[in-house]
Amino acid sequence: MSQIEYRHQVVCFGEVLWDIMPEAKLPGGAPMNVAYHLTRLGKNPVVISRVGNDEPGKELSEAFAQMGINTSFFQKDRLWPTGTVYAHTGEHNEMTYDIVTPVAWDFIRWRQRYTPLVQNAEYFVFGSLSTRNRHSKNTLFKCLDAAQTRVLDINLRPPFYSKRTVEELLQKADVLKLNLAELELISGWFKHYEKDEDKLALLKDEFGLKTVIVTKGGDGALLHTGDAFYYHAGYKVKVADTIGSGDSFLAAILSKFMERAPPEEALEFACALGALTASRHGGCPVYTMADIQAVTTAEQNGC
């Protein structure tokens, strides 16, 4: 493989799977969702994962390829099946997930070619779910040792995490993105604060993080970097489902970081894409830059 094939701006690591919903079967997994949105935003991501040597794995790889996602770093597993998640929508549009285990992405093996791939990427994106099995966890930590800027999208899914593992991941991270429930839980392990700003500052200081971002659903997001806090109230949309909205938010904010945009601009753009994704079904809707702009325009016009 030539050196040019290792030049990806972002490497995403972890689970790829089929989201089984009452009305549809959709390709998913947080790392893949982030890569999809980065691709739509004109970046050049790649995903390290593992699928089964089965028909669902073949279909999943083909679906990702059709979305423009680079699948050349997918492994094939001859023993374990392709990942599956059963997704359910609650009365307030919140999602719950039944995540099948064990599956192929629990057994991502280390490959020497990951070293230049990860070293040459500006960002390495990972979550906590991929640590539920020691095989993928060991590979993840080898990748983290090679990474430039390590982005932890914590993505806590009971019972697939422990306080010890989360702390290990936080110690490795440079950028942390989490939601309000995760912020409350993790900051509460150390000290109880009322204000979100204090909770973010606690985590940033405790683990030496460069940037901490909390998403607040329909109420926007809060970003803490350096000594400054940045706020956005979010955009009001009619929610179809919330699958992948946090992943699209992360992809959008990373795309702006890569463009060296100011934090205010990055946060605004990320909130707009997160809202757009929530207004459509599934984690990987088709959209254009004009669609993202329309979200902000509608808000400005009071629609």
pLDDT tens readout for residues 76-112: 999 999 999 987 776 665 667 789 999 999 999 999 9
**1 in a structural domain:** no
Domain count, the chain: 1
SS3 (DSSP) at 251: helix
Q: What is the largest CA-CA distance in the chain?
A: 55
**143 in a structural domain:** yes
Residue 106 structural domain: 11-300
Average pLDDT of span 196-205 = 98
**3 in a structural domain:** no
pLDDT beyond 60 at 295? yes
Distance, CA of 220 to CA of 72 (rounded, Å): 35
**4 in a structural domain:** no
What tokens were used for 38? 């980065």
Of the pLDDT bands very low, low, confident and very high (cuts 50, 70, 90), residue 74 is very high
pTM recorded for the entire structure: 0.94
**259 in a structural domain:** yes
**5 in a structural domain:** no
Q: Domain of 174: which CATH number? A: 3.40.1190.20
pLDDT tens column, 4-44? 456 899 999 999 999 888 778 889 999 999 999 999 999 99
Q: What is the reported pLDDT for 5? A: 58
**33 in a structural domain:** yes
Q: What is the reported pLDDT for 241? A: 82
Distance of CA 168 to the CA centre of its chain: 18
Distance, CA of 224 to CA of 210 (rounded, Å): 8
**6 in a structural domain:** no
Q: What is the reported pLDDT for 300? A: 61
